Amino acid sequence: MITNALNRKIYLDHSATTPLDERVFCEMKPWFTEKFGNANSIHSFGADAALAVDTARRKIAELLGAKPTEIYFTSGGTEADNWAIKGMAEAKRDKGKHIIVSSIEHAAIMSACKQLSAKGYEITYLPVNSKGLVAPQDLLSAIRNDTVMVSVMLANNEVGTIQPIKELCEIAHGKGVLFHTDAVQAVGSIPVSVKELGVDMLSLSAHKFYGPKGIGALYIKSGVKPDKLLVGGHQERTMRGGTTNVPAVVGMAKALEIATGELKKNSEYVKGLRDRFVKLVEERIPHVIYNGDGKERLPQNANFSFEFIEGEALLLNLDLCGIACSSGSACSSGSLEPSHVLLAMGINPETAHGSIRFSFGKDNTRDEVDYVVEKLVENVNKLRAISPLFAMFNEGVKNV
Ligand code: PLP
């Protein structure tokens, strides 16, 4: 089916998920079929699977600057985040019940905090500036004697802002407080080393770097001991029950190996596409706001607020042109609330409602960027032509 002038659909939603790399699929395939053993079985089928998991764990650890015994496989970023927050809150409850997170965390952290708050924990949400950055001084002021942990994401999923994690972590450690970072959006896009960052825990998820869905990991530094989240069998050195997803573990290791090996080339390429897109949009469309930081930003992310229109309407119109992008994050789409990230950055709710995230990937091309800009211009003009707010603005009505 012809979907647009380029005869193909254009996927600009790589922050929601990425396609599985063919090379990753090839590596995974035998572990679904002939090598199907349970990694906990003691016979040869099990031993083969256990060896594959072991090899994958060592590879992932090496690529992240960790020890193999510090990598725990999970079902994805959401589980890793829940484990870090709830596990540590529970383990440290005798020290205190105060937790500090940023106000722009992913729903996986925010919802875990909400549950803890209902159980009597006190959560401090650090503010961010208009670019989405946490101020180290704000963290320092927020830490109390009963603070048990801090969690600040490495890179934001909506606006791509990269936080000064190393500095924030040093502040927390200076006060004897543990530090977790959600690096789900960062791993595979920018260099990530747990040693460099100095964090105690770090979450990652394979489907954000051309790996399979439903697999992730929590890095837990040696000596750091969160309580268990999932109890059951003795998998993951008794820390996380559940039969190991061998094909997914193998796939995550391969995906991380490829992403790390090709990181420089791919991130420069993707950044080039993103920068061209941003320049053309700013040149061709009036009344747009480029959200996020100009410099401390993931290479794939562009987030724009188009004033006087609804983001959802623009999204649907672009979809009809074969263009896939996103309003807010995939996890909060379906909610009509404006993005908590944009609101925390001080953007007013009306403007936040007109925001779209475009996230580029290694398979996008320059002609796709140019085509998307053409369709954006067309559709923004079309929607503004029927927007009462835009009409009022043009008639000079103030504060529309
Ligand atoms: N954290 C961030 C920053 C994310 O962007 C996402 C996914 O969108 C998650 C956590 C959840 O990861 P998963 O989809 O693997 O559960």
- Residue 399 is predicted with a pLDDT of 62
Ligand 1 close to Cβ of residue 359 (< 6 A): no
- Assigned token pair, 126: 């650090």
Strand, helix or coil at 40? coil
- Assigned token pair, 371: 């085509």
Ligand 1 close to Cβ of residue 211 (< 6 A): no
Closest CA to 327 of 298, 306, 297, 348: 306
- Residue 82 is predicted with a pLDDT of 98
Ligand 1 close to Cβ of residue 81 (< 6 A): yes
Top mutation candidate among 103, 184, 189, 333 for ligand 1, by most atoms within 8 Å of CB: 184
**Residue numbers annotated as active site:** 331
Ligand 1 close to Cβ of residue 78 (< 6 A): yes
- Residue 264 is predicted with a pLDDT of 98
What does residue 182 show for φ and ψ, rounded to 5 degrees? Answer: -90, 105
Residue carrying structure tokens 């922050």? 15
What does residue 337 show for φ and ψ, rounded to 5 degrees? Answer: -70, 140
DSSP lists the bridge partners of residue 304 as 290, 356
Ligand 1 close to Cβ of residue 13 (< 6 A): no
d(CA 277, CA 161): 18
Helices (H), the chain: 22-28, 44-64, 77-82, 88-91, 107-118, 136-142, 165-174, 194-197, 246-261, 263-284, 311-320, 340-344, 349-353, 366-385, 388-394
Ligand 1 close to Cβ of residue 48 (< 6 A): no
Distance 284 CA to ligand 1 centre (A): 33
Distance 309 CA to ligand 1 centre (A): 28
Ligand 1 close to Cβ of residue 357 (< 6 A): no
Q: In angstroms, what CA-CA distances link 273 with 108, 373, 387?
A: 30, 12, 31
- Assigned token pair, 299: 């290479």
Q: Looking at the CA of residue 205, tell me the nearest atom of ligand 1.
A: 15
Distance 106 CA to ligand 1 centre (A): 7
3-state secondary structure 115-128: HHHHCCCEEEEECC
- Residue 245 is predicted with a pLDDT of 98
- Residue 400 is predicted with a pLDDT of 60
Distance 123 CA to ligand 1 centre (A): 21
Nearest CA to ligand 1 atom 4: 184
Nearest CA to ligand 1 atom 12: 77
Mean pLDDT by 10 residues, the chain (400 residues): 74 98 98 96 97 98 98 98 98 97 98 98 98 98 98 98 98 98 98 98 98 98 97 94 97 98 98 98 98 97 96 96 82 68 96 96 98 97 94 80
d(CA 208, CA 191): 14
Distance 15 CA to ligand 1 centre (A): 9
- Listed in sequence order, the residues at least 6 apart from 350 whose beta carbon sits closer than 8 Å to its beta carbon are 389
d(CA 370, CA 212): 30
Q: State the DSSP code for 34.
A: T
Ligand 1 close to Cβ of residue 188 (< 6 A): no
Task: Identify the sign of the CA torsion 98, 91, 172, 115.
Answer: negative
Q: In angstroms, what CA-CA distances link 179 with 66, 149, 153, 286, 321?
A: 16, 6, 10, 42, 44
Strand, helix or coil at 198? coil
Helices (H), 305-395: 311-320, 340-344, 349-353, 366-385, 388-394
